Amino acid sequence: MPAYENRYWWSNDGLRLHYRDYPGREDRPPIVCIPGLTRNARDFEDVAARLAGEWRVIAIDLRGRGESAYAKDPMSYVPMTYIQDIEALLAELGVASFVAFGTSLGGILTMLLAGAARERLAGALINDVGPEIEPAGLLRIRGYVGKSNTWPTWMHAARAVAEANADAFPGYTIEDWLVMAKRLYRVNSAGRIVLDYDMKIAEPFRVPGNEAGPDMWRALARLEDVPTLIVHGALSDLLSSATALRMAEMLDQAELVTVPDVGHAPTLSEPVAVAPIERLLARIGEPVAA
């Protein structure tokens, strides 16, 4: 695992937010990794292991996740506030151009970032999400988000994760489930293993209208001339094959890769996803002006 620094920045409303900073070449735009709804910077450990050194990788914890502070107002757990938080980080770092890797909610935020600041986006990876989200996937997410569980051992946590996600990752072994559990959970002060996010993130998510809607196609269109990789899990209940294909067809510089035998969401470490990621970065890897 490459070395990284734990760093922090402040949101506009005074929250101390965290990111992992993996060093890389300064003549290339950094890769900003944005995780899914209940996930955190640890989801990108494998991606960083492959790319750090050649690329600076900035893996963020959204507010209320991982090592980032929990919000006093749960209604700030919405996409536009996340965008403001990311914009604050980019401004603090003086980032003029960046590549966005977004999984699930992070992919929605990537589309919104394109709408807000297209000229700064050097490339994009949208992982298993689109402007239209399948009802079955939304129903599943609403069924588990914000429901707290605790476990006495990592093996207990891993078996719980396996039970909840077996349909999405039918080929996983117990070792794979342990890795996923350690990315999704943490050990609390009482020595129990708990989910590593604020349960209150569920409050605005359950309000109709806070998920991606038809207007997200307009945001996606802003990526028309941006090198883009769309990753689709073949078993995904969130992104349909039809939506993924439509996304790729409307973007001149998009490549679509479907990861077989995987649901929501691919880890980006699957062999079929590695080469397309390399192709994406090769298209945008020319040194940037100092």
Q: Which token pair is 104?
A: 């699930």
Closest by CA position to 129, among listed 121, 139, 137: 137
CATH code of the domain containing 244: 3.40.50.1820
- The answer to whether position 108 is within a domain reads yes
Q: What is the pLDDT of residue 117?
A: 74
- Dihedral (CA of 78, 223, 25, 266) sign: positive
Residue 62 identity: L
Distance separating alpha carbons of residues 137 and 13, to the nearest angstrom: 32
Partners of 192 in the beta sheet? none
- The answer to whether position 140 is within a domain reads no
Residue 239: CA count within 13 A, CB half-sphere: 31
- The answer to whether position 268 is within a domain reads yes
Partners of 98 in the beta sheet? 121
pLDDT in tens, 194-203: 999 999 999 9
- The answer to whether position 129 is within a domain reads yes
Q: What is the pLDDT of residue 120?
A: 92
Q: How many CB atoms lie within 10 A of CB 135?
A: 10
- The answer to whether position 169 is within a domain reads no
pLDDT block averages, 10 residues each, the chain of length 290: 91 98 96 97 97 97 98 96 97 96 97 86 98 93 90 97 96 98 97 97 75 73 96 98 98 97 97 97 69
Number of domains in the chain: 1
Supply the angle between the helices 79-93 and 105-117 in degrees, to the nearest 10.
60
Distance separating alpha carbons of residues 12 and 194, to the nearest angstrom: 28
- The answer to whether position 192 is within a domain reads no
Partners of 195 in the beta sheet? 185
Quote the domain boundaries for residue 103. Answer: 5-135+212-283
| Mean pLDDT (the chain, rounded) | 94
- The answer to whether position 82 is within a domain reads yes
Residue 1 identity: M
Q: Write down the number of H helices and E strands in the chain.
A: 10, 11
Distance separating alpha carbons of residues 124 and 138, to the nearest angstrom: 24
- The answer to whether position 67 is within a domain reads yes
Q: What is the pLDDT of residue 101?
A: 98
- Dihedral (CA of 285, 129, 209, 69) sign: negative
Per DSSP, the residues of 231-265 read: EEETT-SSS-HHHHHHHHHH-TTEEEEEETT--S-
DSSP 9: E
